[in-house]
Amino acid sequence: MKISLNAIRFVNEHYGSAGNPAPEGVETIVQKIGAQLGAVEETIPYGERFDGVVVVRVMSCAPHPNADRLRVCTIDDGGITPDVKRDENGHVQVVCGAPNVREGLMVAWLPPGSTVPSTRAADPFVMEARELRGVVSNGMLASPKELTIGDSHDGILELDTDAAPGTPFTKAYNLEGDVVIDMENKMFTHRPDCFGQLGIARELEGIQHRPYKSPEWYRSNPEFPGVETDELKLDVRNEIPGLVPRFTAITMSGVAVKPSPVWLQIALSRVGIRPTNNIVDYTNFFMLETGQPLHAYDYDKVVAQDAGATQATIVVRHPREGEKITLLNGKEIKPREQAIMIATNDKLIGVGGVMGGGDTEIDAQTKNIIIESANFDMYSIRRTAMTHGLFTDAVTRFNKGQSPLQTATVLAKIVDEIRTFADGKVASPVIDDNHLPEDMLERNSVYPAVAVTRQFINARLGFDLSADEMAQLLRNVEFEVNVDGDNLTVRAPFWRTDIAIAEDVVEEVGRLYGFDHLPLELPHRSVSPVEPDKFFAFKSRIRDILVRGGANELLTYNFVHGNLLDKVDQNKEKAYRLSNALSPDLQYYRMSLTPSLLDKVHLNLKAGFDQFALFEINKAHNKIHTEDGNLPKEANLISLVYAANDKVVDPASGAAYYEARKYLDYLTERLGISLVYTPFIQEDDLEEKCPVIQPFDLKRAALIHVKDSNILLGMVGEYKDTVKKSLKLPAHTAGFEIGFEELLEAAEKAGKSYQTIPRFPRVTQDISLRVPGTVAYQALHDVVATQLETSKPRNTIAQVSPLDIYQKDAQEAYKQIAFRISIASYERTLTDQEVNRLLDTIAINAKAELGAERV
């Protein structure tokens, strides 16, 4: 919303509403607006752009000797411009190509040394005296476009001022020092009145603790003159009063359609609206004043829409099937089914509250008009605007929910203006199709008066204002306030749509008084300690451990490309899909983290990182698992991917699987959790239970369970060959993905891992066992460990750790596994003999259970 400080001051003084809105200067008022009204996007020194422009009279016009289209003119600038060549009459010669230049015209002159207003922003062009086809032109006469008043460049702007030649343009049109303030629309979402200049003018007074009084015509009951001429009949039929609670209209005849007075053209172009003709410009001007959009139709064109009709009919309805309309912007649309349409008996002539139709537009020939001032449902307007991409000034205002109580008031004002300045005669009684509730009309306020107490307001703001002080703040902006002790009864003026409950009054008082007065006190609280969130704390702990292990935490998007899911063999049907994704890259909610991480491997290798471990702790979603009613379960997952470039991998170091497993063991050991790795065995519902299975190569991956529990953590392993190929992964890539909540559960259950240090020496012995190649390492380890625990002398502490796994080659039927066993007693020194006996027992059992031979 843009406002001009000069315009506000003029209207304030003209109607006796208030005085200068910025008595302490522009900077102060801009700051106050920021603190008490809303963010200022830009302060535009609008008046400045006309510096140097002079009002002059064209004294003579003669043909140019060398150019048919140019004229050589002399102008009277009152003799005020220095350093310019003058003729014997003191006039200045200017060459002009405008078809409308003629003797006696008052025009805007850009003398040498002045800057063309339209060029100021981008590439300032400074005028000089120079020859045009052999004749000297001292500067030039300005077109509306050069002055940034509309975009017409067909001729020069004809001024309508009484000011004497030589008067600065800014003085003639009240632009001296004018500043346009552009405020963010967002905070006026609930303040439709602030989309009118009167609304802002009122607020500027209110926040400076001064009373504002709306112009008489706005405050009082609207009055319309009787029919002054042959009646132009108009019937209005409103078929959708639920969406159009009020439709006010009138006809006028004999209007003179012409360009608007210059002040009006300036008033519109200054805030970004293109001047068209006086009738359309008046509708826009009063919209800018009050926030109430207006629309003018050519009466005769409306009549002509209905075959054989002799009078105009306006029907407010939804579109019928197949109906189309060509809008003022030249576009044809097929309106959405529920749109509010303005129609005649036979045809659509406008999209209500959004944009008029081209067929009934006001043009230079228009004599008779219909003016509409209506109220439309904000939600319907918004949906229509969104459906058809029509974002007009009317939409901006209507979709905030304009007050329906001002339609007739604004209509009366524009009728008065057109009667006075455009020869219009009232040609019908006012039609006010009004479906507002009786009580709303009666109290002339959108909501019933709000009862609130001084204490209620002070308690929410931390202020200590008296009821009278509060009342005064509100009365300054024309609220009606009754004070009875500590009780305030607050009736909002008819243009306010946002004062429904006591909290709304709190906001109003706080804002008008100034939020910069809020007392900065911390709330009091008890000394009871706060428990840090266990999920965040656990994430932190995992992060610390993995980082210590040289891994890099990354974050990747929740949204992935369908191709990525395809590449890792995940079923897209199970993934939530966005209906309005930014691009196909971001279309699906990921179902596990690993694919996102794998997607980051190649780019890092290419960037010169030869080996790394990436990890992420984040959420993934799928359509299988839900929680809390029908919401998708938000599973937190931990994924890690280890990758190494071929050139840094030592072939003797074995499969990448073991690198990934090393990270997982490192992590879980520090959490006191023991894991069980089992080869993958196909189960029907496993993919549902454990959505992280894809993209692992199931022959080279293990399911991970927490030892001695049935908690399934996830998977660790290498990735399928097809995955490696399509994501350009190096051969040596592996990783794991496990459930975060499951890991937390296991960690919470984990016992203490500290063991008392024995005072007696530790005895260490190795045992090497030969087993068939099919026997899993874990199986043999378990036999050894179990036997060790059951057979060791009492009150000892024993450990078994892997020493070596040897198999001559893959075809060899046997492999040899060596363990190191260390044992210490808490009560005595163990003998070698004892330990040897223990190893013998272990070997015997290993043979019995797994056919192991001691070697």
Instruction: Determine phi and psi for 572, rounding to 5 degrees.
Output: -55, -30
H or E segment to which residue 263 belongs: helix 262-270
The smaller minimum CB distance to other proteins, of residues 391 and 826, is found at: 391
The smaller minimum CB distance to other proteins, of residues 248 and 668, is found at: 668
Q: Are 284 and 443 in contact (CB under 8 A)?
A: no
The smaller minimum CB distance to other proteins, of residues 16 and 802, is found at: 802
Pairs from 67-75 (Cβ < 8 Å, separation ≥ 24):
67/132, 67/133, 69/97, 70/95, 70/96, 70/97, 70/132, 70/133, 70/135, 71/95, 71/96, 71/97, 71/101, 72/135, 73/101, 73/141, 75/107, 75/109, 75/141, 75/165
Closest approach of other proteins to the CB of residue 242, in Å: 14
Instruction: Determine phi and psi for 146, rounding to 5 degrees.
Output: -65, -25
The smaller minimum CB distance to other proteins, of residues 447 and 658, is found at: 658
- Whole-number Å distance between alpha carbons of 280 and 729: 66
How many other β-carbons are positioned within 10 Å of the β-carbon of residue 703?
22
Q: Are 728 and 645 in contact (CB under 8 A)?
A: no
The smaller minimum CB distance to other proteins, of residues 646 and 827, is found at: 646
Q: Which residues are CB-contacts of 361 (< 8 A; sequence separation ≥ 6)?
A: 298, 301, 328
Locate 687 and state its tokens: 């993919």
Distance (Å) of CA 806 to CA 347, 711, 769, 771, 779:
91, 32, 10, 10, 16
Closest approach of other proteins to the CB of residue 735, in Å: 13
The smaller minimum CB distance to other proteins, of residues 459 and 855, is found at: 459
Q: Are 261 and 253 in contact (CB under 8 A)?
A: no
The smaller minimum CB distance to other proteins, of residues 444 and 678, is found at: 678
State the burial class of residue 718 (Cβ atoms within 10 Å of its Cβ: 0-12, 13-18, 19+). buried
Q: Is the dihedral of CA 511, 513, 515, 521 positive or negative?
A: negative
The smaller minimum CB distance to other proteins, of residues 308 and 651, is found at: 651
Instruction: Determine phi and psi for 736, rounding to 5 degrees.
Output: -140, 160
Distance (Å) of CA 580 to CA 560, 584, 586, 588, 670:
14, 10, 10, 11, 44
Locate 59 and state its tokens: 């004294």
Q: Is 817 helix (H, G, I), strand (E, B) or coil?
A: strand
The smaller minimum CB distance to other proteins, of residues 268 and 551, is found at: 551
What does the angle CA 350 – CA 353 – CA 355 come to, to the nearest 5 degrees?
45
The smaller minimum CB distance to other proteins, of residues 733 and 825, is found at: 733
Closest approach of other proteins to the CB of residue 653, in Å: 4
Locate 607 and state its tokens: 């960037």
Closest approach of other proteins to the CB of residue 211, in Å: 21
Closest approach of other proteins to the CB of residue 646, in Å: 15
DSSP state of 572: G
Closest approach of other proteins to the CB of residue 465, in Å: 13
Closest approach of other proteins to the CB of residue 186, in Å: 6
The smaller minimum CB distance to other proteins, of residues 173 and 615, is found at: 615
Instruction: Determine phi and psi for 234, rounding to 5 degrees.
Output: -140, 125
The smaller minimum CB distance to other proteins, of residues 85 and 517, is found at: 517
Closest approach of other proteins to the CB of residue 585, in Å: 11
How many other β-carbons are positioned within 10 Å of the β-carbon of residue 780?
21
Closest approach of other proteins to the CB of residue 455, in Å: 11
Closest approach of other proteins to the CB of residue 505, in Å: 10
The smaller minimum CB distance to other proteins, of residues 806 and 826, is found at: 806
Closest approach of other proteins to the CB of residue 697, in Å: 7
State the burial class of residue 739 (Cβ atoms within 10 Å of its Cβ: 0-12, 13-18, 19+). buried
The smaller minimum CB distance to other proteins, of residues 584 and 679, is found at: 679
Q: Are 227 and 428 in contact (CB under 8 A)?
A: yes
Which residue carries 């008819």 as its tokens? 494
DSSP state of 68: E
Closest approach of other proteins to the CB of residue 667, in Å: 10
Closest approach of other proteins to the CB of residue 458, in Å: 8
The smaller minimum CB distance to other proteins, of residues 94 and 488, is found at: 488
Between the two ends of the chain, the Cα-to-Cα distance in Å is 90
Closest approach of other proteins to the CB of residue 620, in Å: 9
- Whole-number Å distance between alpha carbons of 443 and 85: 68
Closest approach of other proteins to the CB of residue 147, in Å: 32
